[in-house]
Structure 1
Amino acid sequence: MYNHEEAIGPTLASVLDYGYPVLLVDDGSSPACRDVLISLERQYGDRVCLIRLEQNGGKGAAVKAGLRQLLKQGYTHAVQIDADGQHDLNDLPLFLELGMASPDALVTGYPRYDESVPALRYYARYLTHVWVWINTLSFRIKDTMCGFRVYPLAPVVELLDREPCGNRMDFDPEVIVRWAWRGLPIKNLPTRVHYPLDGVSHFDAVKDNVLISLMHARLFFGMLVRLPSIIRRRRNG
């Protein structure tokens, strides 16, 4: 997380209500946010662990660091949740249940928006969906940018060690496309998403859109290289 000192406390408390330990990843936040995170770690004791990246690397960099840390600590699965409170944590038991029923699958949410969603973001994300459908030659991924996910740790960290995935907002779509290229299972789960009126967005309209465009180009050529194996897997499966 990066500079969500107002939202992280309520979000963390809601997650802890379900009895699972939480790893907070501070992506080089400001001193004010850093101090809030340190205070939360002290407040909750061994229920909360905090790691801090010295420099802000982007959402993808923070998620990668968290996944690797959890695998190192001996966990088999991790739930990714955004710190800003936009995800409906009442759905958390559904994600955990599906993750336990399909332990080899990447479980990803697909949003059900309310009226708080910005119209531009709502329509723009479908451009990414179309490119992902092209780059996977399938419709089995219903949403590619939702940050509410369950990852099997060993295979996703192995993927990250071998293949490039973006460090900013391009991470979520890229990692799931590369997961799909490997023929690994994906489960889609509807989830309610709300954009708080006082929410803080760290999406850089220029930088992140350029990175996402470059990602789509990179994935398209990667799909062309993998096309024979994708078609062969479809015929055999």
Structure 2
Amino acid sequence: MKALVIIPTYNEAESIGRQLEKLLEFENLEILVVDDNSPDGTAGLVEQIRRYQNRVHLLPRQQKDGLGRAYLAGFDWGLKANFDYLIEMDADGSHRTEDLPLLLQQAQTHDLVIGSRWIPGGRVQNWSKLRELISRFGNFYARKMLGCEIRDMTAGFRCFRASFLKQLDLSDVAARGYAFQVEVAWRAAKESNQIIEVPITFVEREVGQSKMTYSIVLEALLLVTKWGFQRILSAAR
């Protein structure tokens, strides 16, 4: 089993070293950091680690171009390198490495495994009630508008079976920010009934700054609304 963890980064110098250290404890994993030319030297730190850890890889990009484009570049790299499983994971430690074995175990019999905060057993740590309410409402809205049963459509901790990912046509993905997770989950659900959510604990980052902005939230809201009305109109024809 060849598994690749894909970590998009932008200004994650304070956290990336620790996350890589934890991931390297898993002997069957390799890690690809996709860095969007971070001005804080994130890529340089990864390059230093890469020199003595051949399971760490770096894919530098010329500019900040959004989470979605970073993951698409990582998917392309991982598929060309013939990995069996491709895993999405954050750099800031919010996705715990101790939850990885469960995702990998379920990936052996499922096309897509989603680490979910909003199913029984899933939870978040160090979030305000307002942030939790926004996330729960956003997922509820996306689920209803898109007619999808996935409870945590915005989750960024996922494991794809590579053979399934090859079947998904992601060439025309519209979302650049966090709506990318919603769009890909929705597309995957339309193509496969072998999707499962497993409970994880999401831990708020301790260092660095969140990349979530009002523009990213607005993009997600507008795109989900657009896709939802397109789906409803298509079904009514």
Q: Is 1:166 paired with 2:175?
A: yes
Q: Which residue of 2 aligns with 1:234?
A: none
- Partners of 2:195 and 2:234 lie apart in 1 by 19
CA contact (8 A) 1:109 1:188 kept: yes
**Aligned partner of 1:208 among 178, 193, 216:** 216
Query: How well do the aligned residues superpose, as a CA RMSD in angstroms?
Result: 2.1
Displacement of 1:119: 2.8
- Partners of 2:208 and 2:132 lie apart in 1 by 16
CA contact (8 A) 1:25 1:51 kept: yes
Using a 3 Å threshold, how does the CA distance of structure 1 residues 227 and 171 change in structure 2: closer, same or farther? same
Further displaced range: 122-131 or 10-19 = 122-131
Q: Which residue of 2 aligns with 1:22?
A: 31
CA contact (8 A) 2:146 2:186 kept: yes
CA contact (8 A) 1:67 1:157 kept: no
Residue type matched to 1:214 in 2? Answer: L
- Partners of 1:182 and 1:132 lie apart in 2 by 18
Using a 3 Å threshold, how does the CA distance of structure 1 residues 174 and 54 change in structure 2: closer, same or farther? same
Displacement of 1:7: 0.7
Using a 3 Å threshold, how does the CA distance of structure 1 residues 90 and 226 change in structure 2: closer, same or farther? farther
Displacement of 1:80: 0.8
- Partners of 1:160 and 1:56 lie apart in 2 by 23
The gaps in structure 2 that reach 5 residues or longer are 1-8
Residue type matched to 1:166 in 2? Answer: A
TM-score, scaled to structure 2: 0.86
The gaps in structure 1 that reach 5 residues or longer are 230-237
Displacement of 1:2: 1.0
1:14-35: CA deviations, max 9, x gaps?
1111111111111221152221
Residue type matched to 2:116 in 1? Answer: Y
Aligned residues: 224
Using a 3 Å threshold, how does the CA distance of structure 1 residues 116 and 6 change in structure 2: closer, same or farther? same
Displacement of 1:64: 1.0
Bigger proportion of residues as helix: 1
Q: Which residue of 2 aligns with 1:153?
A: 162
Residue type matched to 2:21 in 1? Answer: A
- Partners of 1:177 and 1:5 lie apart in 2 by 32
The 5 Å alignment of 1:78-117 reads 78-102=86-110, 105-111=111-117, 112-117=122-127
Displacement of 1:225: 5.1
Q: Which residue of 1 aligns with 2:6?
A: none
- Partners of 1:38 and 1:169 lie apart in 2 by 27
Q: Is 1:121 paired with 2:131?
A: yes
The 5 Å alignment of 1:1-237 reads 1-19=9-27, 20-44=29-53, 46-102=54-110, 105-111=111-117, 112-138=122-148, 140-205=149-214, 207-224=215-232, 227=235
CA contact (8 A) 2:125 2:202 kept: no
CA contact (8 A) 1:82 1:148 kept: yes
1:4-55: CA deviations, max 9, x gaps?
11111111111111111111111221152221121121131x2111101111
